[in-house]
Structure 1
């Protein structure tokens, strides 16, 4: 997993979500699978289960994800840092979404809450 700028963000999400999953589950209610691609064309898959468990794993979802988001490593970091807007990134094809697109709008609050706690 080296070579991914997004790694500390996902580690912080894991720490925050697993320490107190209830508010995150209440906010997002879904299984999110991220396909993060770095500059070397390597891919790392992360699953954030906010449907019932409140867990973050560095692997594909064991059950069917509600939404699959494919994004570059740099664009993921920019999304979390607030440098680009999720809707704009989607429209500019900087991120691809399969599944329940409405869940993507709920995820923004989760990412921002985790970032605020992490002070990344």
Structure 2
């Protein structure tokens, strides 16, 4: 899992936790998440120093989380800051509110981006992120 972590990003800790949760899912749980979400999210996160980290959550084919650009192409790319992602993951910030206030930008299937909240919440309930 250490290959997911990126120094200087709080997001990487959360993503690593998410990846571990995905690994504990049974095949049924994975299929259920994939069926419910049916999309590939590419997260482009900028930290306080202005560096960008890229992670992918594949809930279309494999039900996996990894560092780097989406392969195949992402259905939605989400651009946000490290702090914004942390607040989303902790449930302190609503995804729609973040989008409407310009803290979160999307490229691609915007409706799919609304499902990210649900993915984070279900993983958080499975493990304490």
TM-score range, shorter chain: over 0.9
The ranges of structure 1 where at least 4 consecutive aligned residues each deviate by more than 6 angstroms after the TM superposition are none
How high is the TM-score relative to the length of structure 1? Answer: 0.94
How many angstroms apart in 2 are the aligned matches of 1:13 and 1:93?
25
How high is the TM-score relative to the length of structure 2? Answer: 0.88
1:19 aligns with 2:24: yes
Displacement after TM superposition at 1:44 (Å):
0.6
Higher relative CO (Cα under 8 Å, sequence separation at least 6) belongs to 1
1:109 alignment counterpart: 118
Q: Cα deviations across residues 43-98 of structure 1 (Å, max 9, x unaligned)?
A: 11001111011111101012111000001000000011111111010010000001
2:106 alignment counterpart: 97
Aligned partners of 1:32 and 1:66 also within 8 Å: yes
Displacement after TM superposition at 1:26 (Å):
2.0
Residue 33 of structure 1: SS of its match in structure 2?
strand
Residue 26 of structure 1: SS of its match in structure 2?
helix
Residue 115 of structure 2: SS of its match in structure 1?
helix
Question: In structure 2, which of residues 62, 68, 78 is the aligned counterpart of residue 59 of structure 1?
Answer: 68
How many angstroms apart in 2 are the aligned matches of 1:103 and 1:37?
21
Aligned partners of 2:94 and 2:117 also within 8 Å: no
Aligned residues: 120
